[in-house]
Amino acid sequence: MGRMQGKSCVVTGGARGIGEGIVRRYVAEGARCVIADIDVEAGEKLAAELGDAVVFVRTDVTSESDIAAAIDLCVSRYGSLDVMVNNAGVVGVTGPIEETPLEDYERTMSILLTSVFLGTKLALPIMKKAGGGAIINTSSTAGVQGGLGPHVYTTAKHGVIGLSKSVAVEAAPHGVRVNVLCPGATLSSLTAGLVAGDKDALDEAYERLSSKYPGGKAPRPEDMANAAVFLASDEGQFMNGAVIVMDAGKEVLSDRAAKFYPID
């Protein structure tokens, strides 16, 4: 415990799912967090539970002024911005590419990719001035392989990786590290909605997800949070521009490998 003692963090999409898991772990490791999320009910509930170590602010991640306000709140309340986690996301528009409306494409890209651009853009100058910091951007296994998500989701998640790698080069001389988490299908309200048809059917979703994973156990938000702690803490000081895939080999390696390397 205490691996993030004294660090001040902003976590977008921090009220539920992987973001919530990150917030909980960060606080347990001694950090203070701004929960930046559009879900007011869930955000306020989590903030009330975790106490003075966190504060919630309603944040539309497609709004530059909203993200700026979340960052400003972190600096004014806790004295610094040490960690920026750009995590908010949705599945977005689905369906064949020829039937995808431009408006839906742009809305999905705005939430999944433009939000990461904004969070990175606004966090970097503060961290540069302070002499260091960590930016962690959430992509997906769909960001490194086609066919694991809808077209626009996949496009945006690939973009998150490209943007992160590019900014990592600019940020490195200033002591700022930019890394990417690529979760596989992880238990959350988002995946529950996809696999069980109900965002609150977490138990049913976990059973369905687990049946597809090696070892029969699907990852939970706290599993992704473990990596987020490492990347944000001093333990990860030599991690920059890294893309960490966390799927137990289920998706990115895929079962095609079994054709050449039989698995008992």
Reduced 3-state DSSP string for 163-206: HHHHHHHHHHHHCEEEEEEEECCCCCHHHHHHHCCCCCCHHHHH
Residue 206: active-site member = no
Q: Could you tell me the strand order of the sheet in which 32-37 lies? A: 54-58, 32-37, 8-12, 83-86, 133-138, 176-183, 243-246
Q: How would you classify residue 147: left for phi > 0, otherwise alpha for psi between -120 and 50, otherwise beta? A: left
- Alpha-carbon distance of 2 to 244, in angstroms, equals 23
Q: What SS3 state is found at 243?
A: strand
- Kind plus residue range of the DSSP H or E element containing 103: helix 102-109
Tokens 């966190």 sit on residue? 54
8 Å CB contact between 107 and 93: yes
**CA 64/CA 139 separation, integer angstroms:** 20
| Catalytic residue from among 26, 78, 153, 206 | 153
Q: List active site positions.
A: 153
